[in-house]
Every structure is written in C-alpha cells, then in structure tokens.
Amino acid sequence: MADNEKEKKAQKQEKPRFTTVDAAILDLCNNVEIPEITCWDRTKKQSPRCSFGEKGICCRICSMGPCRVDESREKLKYGVCGVDSNTVAARNFIRMIAGGAAAHSDHARAGAETFLAAAKGEAPGYAIKDEQKLLQLAMDFDVSVGDRSVQDIAIEVGEKGMGIFGEQFGPIPLTKRAPLKRQKLWAEQGMLPRGVDREIVEIMHRTHIGVDMDPVNLMQQGSRAAIADGWGGSMLATELQDIMFGTPVPILGRSNLGVLEKEQVNIVIHGHEPSLSEMIVAVVQDPEMIERAKQKGAQGINLAGICCTANEILMRHGVPLAGNFLQQEMAIITGAVDAMVVDVQCLMGSLPRVAECFHTKVITTNYRAKIPGATHIQFEEHDAVETAKKIVRAAIDNFPNRKEVYIPDVECDLIGGFSHETINYLLGGMFRASYKPLNDNIINGRILGVAGVVGCNNVKCEHDAGHIDLVKELIANNVLVLQTGCSAVACAKAGLMLPEAAAKYAGPGLAEVCETVGIPPVLHMGSCVDNSRILMAATAMVKQGGLGDDISGLPVAGAAPEWMSEKAISIGHYFVASGVYTVFGTTWPTTGASELTDLLFNGYEEITGGKWDFALESNVQAQKMIDHIKKKREALGIEKARKRILYDMAMRRELDAG
Ligand code: NFS
C-alpha cells in the first residue's frame, strides 16, 4: 500500500466516533457503553454518498430516471427528458423551499386552528394572553377594532388567519409590514406572494416533468413561495403563538443534558408546535401529578426540551433546554428520560429503537407524525389538559422501569426571551421604546452590524463547532448576533447568551453597549418560525431611520453554518429574497449546476439585493459576513467609527461665530 494511502487510512480510523464539541456528549460517551445506534454510526454506514445527489443533479421526478446529469461530461449533459443540470438543480432547490415552507406553514395552520378554537371558547386551557399584539394583528388584517370585545376581535382574526393560507390573489397581508421599497421591489420582480398553499402547489406543478425548465423562472417562483413562508406562514405562527402564550420577555434558563434530574421523573418534549407543550408545562405543576410521581419513588417532575419546542417553552417559561437536534438520541442514552414526547419535525426515526435499549417511552402526539415503535397519544386541542395529563401519567408510570442512569454533569445558564418587541423596549426604555439606540450605535461604529446566525446541526460536520466559532468571531468584531433554532441552543450551551459573555468575548464597542443595556452579545430570539422576528427587527431598523430605506441597505448578514433541513433552505431563501446576504456551511445543494449557483451567489444581488453564499470554515464565513457588513457601511457613508467629540466652550463659541 502506498504511503499516502496508509496515511489516509490511519486518519480515517483516528476520526472520533462522535464528532462534537459538546462536553455533555463527550462525557456521556466516556462513561456509557453506547450501542451502535446513533446518527453518527449511521452516517458512517451511509458513506460514501452519491455525489450526484450531493451536488443537486440527481433527478427522480419521473420514472424514466433516475437521471444523473453532469455538465462536465458530454454523455451525461442531459436527462432523458432533455433538461440540463441547471434545470434539475433548480427544480430540486425550489422543491426544498416548498418542503420547508410547508412545514412552517402547516405548523402555523395548526396554531391558527387552536387559536380560533380558543377564541370561540372551544379549547379550554387556552386564552388570549397578549391583547396588545392581537390588536396589532387585527390592524394588519383590516379587522375593525372599535369597541368590540377581545373575543369578537380574536374570532375574526383567527378566521382571517385561516384564510391567508389559501389566499388566491395576494399579496398576503403581513408583507405590508416590510419596508415600502421592499414591497415595491417584490411587486416589480413578480415575487409578491399569494397564500402559501397556492405558492407551494405552483412549485409542485412547475417542477413536474415537462413544465418549467428555466432556472431563473423556477427561482422566481421559489422566491415567491419563500416570501410567503417568512412573511406569511412563519410570521403568522409567531404572532398567533405570542398572542395565545405571551410575547417573550427576558428570562433565565439552563441548557444541556445536565438539566436532567436523577431523582425526578424526566419528561423531554421535542419537536416544534408549542400548543401541547404549553399544556404540559401547566400539568407538571399539578399537585395530583407531583403526588403520583412521589408514589412511584421520584422526588418530583422535571420538564426539559429538545429542538424548537424547547426554544418555544424556554422563551415563555424558562423550561430548560436539554439540547439541540443531534442530542435527541443522547438524551435517551442517559437512561434518565422517562418519556420523550414528540410533536412534528426534526424527529429521528431511530428514537423508539434507541429507547428500546434503555427504558424511555417515546410518545408521538400528532396524527401527522407517527413513528413505528412509538406509543401514540393524539393531542386534542379541545381537550388539551386531559391529553397532557394522560402523557404526564404515562411518563410517571415509566419511572420505576429505569435501568442504569448516567447524567453528564454539564449545563450552562442563559438568558432567553428576546422578541423584537423586547429588544425595542430594552434598548429604548418603557417610555421611549425604539431601535434608535441600536441604529445610533451602528452609526457611531460601536456596533459594526447585526448578524442572524440560525439553523440546524448536521452530522456531516463537527456538532455545534460551526455555530460557536462563527458567533465568537462575529461578536469579537463588534457584530451583534441574533439567534434562533438549534444554533441558539449551541451558543447557549457555550455560555454566549449570558451578559458576562460581552466582557469575555465581544469587541470593545459591542461590549460597551451590552454592558450599558445589560444584554448578552448574543440574543436568543426563539424557534425557527421565529426567524420572522429577525425580519421584523431588520424592518424596525429601517423604519427607525439613519440606515437607508430598505433591508438590503442595512449592515446585516445571515448564516446557517450547520444547516440540514428543507426548512433552513426556505428560511435562507426568504432572507435572500428580503435583501439579506446569507451564507451557509457544511454542504451546498446546487454545486453541480454552475449557472444556477452563479445566479444564487451573484445574480440574486441584482434581483433582490440579497444573495446566497457558501463556505466550509467558520473563519471564512465570518470574514465574508464582516466584509459584506463593511460594504454596506461604506455605502451608507458610516464606514469609519465616529468618535464622540465633546465640545468645550471655545469650540462652541467658534460654532456660534460660524
Ligand atoms: Ni430549525 Fe427547529 Fe433544529 Fe434545524 Fe430542526 S429543530 S425548526 S430545522 S434541526 S434548527
């Protein structure tokens, strides 16, 4: 065997089984014999991957294929139906947008159904918690307020909300929240969306064999659907959840597997829709349930979360985050989880198999997301408290079945709860709530710009490292970071969401602002549908003035360093379509299509003012984002940090004389 081949083989063998920087996982695998049942083990077995699939140039749309097209090989230039790599990759890409937009929007629809039932008094346990936000949404929906009762207004808002998904003509109402210039641009570009259902159906139609073959035209439809997600489905989910469950305010939380309790019944809620988990939060405090837990030998009931359901209930109740996407199996492997209660999205199909090796009961709760091997308890919003009690009882009754338990002693505090309204309030104070202090500090150069760092974990890269390294580099360069999703959980676990992180990691300008206001340099804004909060924060910055008249002019950038889901592509694309430079890591799904990739990475800047980019290394991603932010600062004429000059008497006199 040649020397370099030997070297390669040795390197391969040396690769650790769990590629992560998470201290809890590393501790767990040092102390527990973990069977080969994790996603890391399956990843290894799936390698090497099909390179056509990875580059976005495998077409499975009709049964004459699958066709593998390759623009660099004459004989593979076209698929059987005659399309080339750019058409194939564009179709695949916008089908990813359709998948992501569908997930967010079906989540929103379920929320709207619960909201409407609650408004009609048909869903006991749910209420209107944020009346102010209800009135705001009523105005957006042209619902008259007058002296009508809250219930009346809520019913009409709920009905209009349900109608938005199937809106045939558009534009959907929440797009009117965007800066005027942006709305005009969308209209000119044919991107003003109709209801998200219609946009998704049109994607499926256009990508059927023999329909739309023009990558630019396909991407225009992808953009319109993504906008219908960001400024429609996702935003509506956030709004209705805030109205029903309360708009988040800063709250202390804890993160990582160390939040599990050895002596208590541990219930881990996992998924995305908070309607059921809100009820579970209430039910675990019920004395009857606590008594039942004690009868089974536990000291109490401990609730924790995984993925975005966790983010939702952290933001509103301070319920601890057990972990992000790649920690779902690990939570079960502690042997301490008595029930893992899942709703929809980002659930691993392996959960019941992993649970079989331990004692955890995996409970599915949504008819849309059943997993073979799991127990199904259907969540009924009309009888939510009873459903929640049934689930909590099942968890308690499973406590005596525990085998060996090992909970890593690893956890970290965080402050969550930064809705865009909270940022407004914190920066400006109760009587003059505004984004002015943020804009002023950007203009004077203490803050270089703002970055949204969001998205998933991906087992193809080192778990959490991509998020933490990128965010550290951004804040060290005085970029304020806004976060959601699993990215937020990664940085929470790394201690970046504490006020003291400002002094430790942030550049001097950002640290000064954070210390004055009392906020961390990295703000947790919630779950992935709450990326709509970032759109609203960007819009608020535009409307505040001083930083141009559109989102595309702001010194801001977005990133999803460890993305993996279709939802991440939809989110990334609605940011690009809203004028934001957005860089993804890990892998890029159109690399086999040079013209399409050029359109997304360069051409889109001409079309929407935003664009996509891709880089593997965190420092390259950070540099690209900082370069973009600096470019925008230059265009605004604020490229140099302006020192505050305190005028003395002589200078004043000179001014007066002038
Ligand atoms: Ni977002 Fe949230 Fe996590 Fe990715 Fe999945 S949980 S919705 S998709 S993996 S960030």
Among 99-113, 498-512, 637-651, which stretch is predicted with the lowest mean pLDDT? 637-651
Is position 656 within any domain?
Answer: no
Residues 6+ apart with CB under 8 A from 193: 170, 171, 172, 175, 186, 199, 224, 225, 227, 228, 231, 232
Secondary structure tally for the chain: helices H, strands E: 29, 16
pLDDT of res. 545: 93
The more confident residue out of 304 and 650 is: 304
DSSP assignment letter at 34: -
Position 550 in a domain: no
145 and 241 fall within a common domain? yes
Distances (CA, A) of 61 to 305, 375, 476: 37, 34, 46
In the chain, how many domains are there? Answer: 2
Who's near 127: CB < 8 A, 6+ residues apart?
A: 118, 244
The alpha-carbon radius of gyration of the chain (Å, integer) is: 25
CA 573 to mean position of chain CA atoms: 13
Predicted confidence band at 601 (pLDDT cuts at 50, 70, 90)?
very high
Say how many Å lie between the CA of residue 325 and the centre of ligand 1: 7
pTM exceeding 0.85? yes
Which atom belonging to ligand 1 lies closest to the Cα atom of 528?
7
Query: Among 541, 620, 627, 610, which Cα is nearest to 585's?
Result: 620
Strand partners, 58: 68
Q: Which of 245, 271, 291 is the last residue of a domain?
A: 245
pLDDT grade, residue 11 (50/70/90)?
low
Output the residue whose Cα is nearest ligand 1's atom 2: 308
| For the chain, percent of residues with pLDDT exceeding 90 | 91
Please check the confidence at residue 3 and state whether its pLDDT lies above 70: no
Q: DSSP character for 360?
A: P
pLDDT of residue 430: 54
Answer yes or no: do 201 and 328 share one domain: no
Q: Is the pLDDT of residue 644 over 90?
A: no
Domain check: are 266 and 341 in the same one?
yes
Q: Are residues 173 and 321 in the same domain?
A: no
Model pLDDT, residue 423 = 87
Question: Residue 372: which CATH number?
Answer: 3.40.50.2030
pLDDT of residue 550: 98
pLDDT band, very low/low/confident/very high, at 1 (cuts 50, 70, 90): very low
Q: Is residue 539 part of a domain?
A: no
- What pLDDT score does 66 carry? 97
Strand partners, 376: 364
- C-alpha pair distances (Å), 533 with each of 314, 422, 484, 543: 16, 11, 9, 15
The CATH number linked to 90 is 1.20.1270.30
Statement to judge: residues 107 and 240 lie in one domain: yes
Q: What is the per-residue DSSP string for 264-321?
A: SEEEEEESS-HHHHHHHHHHTT-HHHHHHHHHTT-S-EEEEEEHHHHHHHHHHH---E
pLDDT for the residue 377: 98
Q: Are residues 268 and 307 in the same domain?
A: yes
State what percent of residues in the chain have pLDDT above 70: 94
- 158 in a structural domain: yes
- The tokens describing 5, both together, are 């081949």
* Distance separating alpha carbons of residues 464 and 493, to the nearest angstrom: 9
Q: Which residues contact 479 (CB under 8 A, 6 or more apart)?
A: 447, 448, 449, 450, 451, 510, 625, 626, 629
Mutate to test the pocket of ligand 1, among 315, 325, 459, 534 (most ligand atoms within 8 A of CB): 325
- Residue ending a domain, among 401, 436, 463, is 401
Q: What is the DSSP string of 404-451?
A: -----S--EEEEE---HHHHHHHHH-STT--SHHHHHHHHTTSS-EEE
* Gap between the Cα atoms of 520 and 514, Å rounded: 6
Helix/strand/coil for 68:
strand
Which residue's CA lies nearest to atom 6 of ligand 1?
307
Taking CA atoms only, the protein residue closest to ligand 1 atom 7 is 528
Is pLDDT of 657 > 60? Answer: no
413 DSSP β-pair partners: 254
What is the per-residue pLDDT for 95?
98
Q: Are residues 283 and 383 in the same domain?
A: yes
Least confident of 69-83, 418-432, 516-530: 418-432
Q: Please identify, by atom number, the ligand 1 atom nearest to the C-alpha of residue 484.
A: 10
Q: In this predicted model, what pLDDT tens digit does every residue of 117-167 receive, in sequence order?
A: 999 999 999 999 999 999 999 999 999 999 999 999 999 999 999 999 999
Write out residues with Cβ below 6 Å of ligand 1: 272, 307-308, 325, 346, 455-456, 485-486, 527-528, 565, 567-568
**Is pLDDT above 90 for 428?**
no
Asked whether the predicted pLDDT for residue 648 surpasses 80, the reply is: no
Instruction: Provide the pLDDT confidence category of residue 647 given band limits of 50, 70 and 90.
Output: low
Indicate if the pLDDT at residue 473 is higher than 50.
Answer: yes
**Domain end: 366, 386, 401, which one?**
401
Mean of the pLDDT values across residues 50-77?
97
In a mutational test of the pocket of ligand 1, which residue from 308, 321, 454 has the highest number of ligand atoms less than 8 Å from its CB?
308
Burial of 136 (0-12, 13-18, 19+ CB in 10 A): middle
Please indicate whether residue 8 or residue 552 has the higher confidence score (pLDDT). Answer: 552
Residue 198 lies in a domain: yes
541 CA → ligand 1 middle, Å: 26
State whether 176 and 291 are in the same domain. Answer: no
Phi, psi (deg, nearest 5) at residue 449 = 180, -170
Residues 261-289, mean pLDDT to the nearest whole number = 97
Domain hosting 193: range is 85-245
Average pLDDT of the chain is 95
CB of 459 closer than 8 Å to CB of 18: no
The reply to whether 183 and 269 lie within a common domain is no
**Is the pLDDT assigned to residue 658 strictly greater than 50?**
no
Provide the token pair at 369. Answer: 């997301």
SS3 content of the chain, % helix, strand, coil (to 5): 55, 10, 35
Mean pLDDT on 430-446: 86
Q: Which residues pair with 252 in a beta bridge?
A: 415
| 263 & 179 share domain | no
One domain for residues 152 and 198:
yes
pLDDT, mean of residues 275-295: 97
Can you read off the two tokens belonging to residue 401? 């079945």
pLDDT value at residue 655:
55
Res 640: pLDDT: 79
For residues 392 and 639, which has the higher predicted lDDT (pLDDT)? 392
Beta-sheet pairing, 556-560 with 581-584 = parallel
The closest alpha carbon to 522, from 474, 556, 563, 562, belongs to: 474
Checking if the pLDDT of 652 tops 70, the result is no
Nearest CA to ligand 1 atom 9: 456
Strand order, beta sheet including 361-364: 375-376, 361-364, 339-342, 265-270, 301-306, 321-323, 251-255, 412-416
From ligand 1's centre to the CA of 246, what distance in Å? 22
Kindly give the distance from the C-alpha atom of residue 313 to the centroid of ligand 1, in angstroms, as a whole number.
Answer: 15
How far, in Å, from the CA of 527 to the mean position of ligand 1?
8
If asked whether residues 218 and 169 sit together in one domain, one would say yes
Q: Does 194 have pLDDT greater than 70? A: yes
Does position 343 have pLDDT exceeding 70, yes or no? yes
Within-domain flag for 625: no
Asked if residue 197 is part of any domain, the answer here is yes
Q: How far is CA 186 from CA 577, 579, 608, in A?
A: 8, 10, 8
The answer to whether residue 184 sits within a structural domain is yes
Instruction: End-to-end CA distance of the chain: give it in Å, rounded.
Output: 84
**Cis, peptide link before residue 352, omega less than 30° from 0:** no
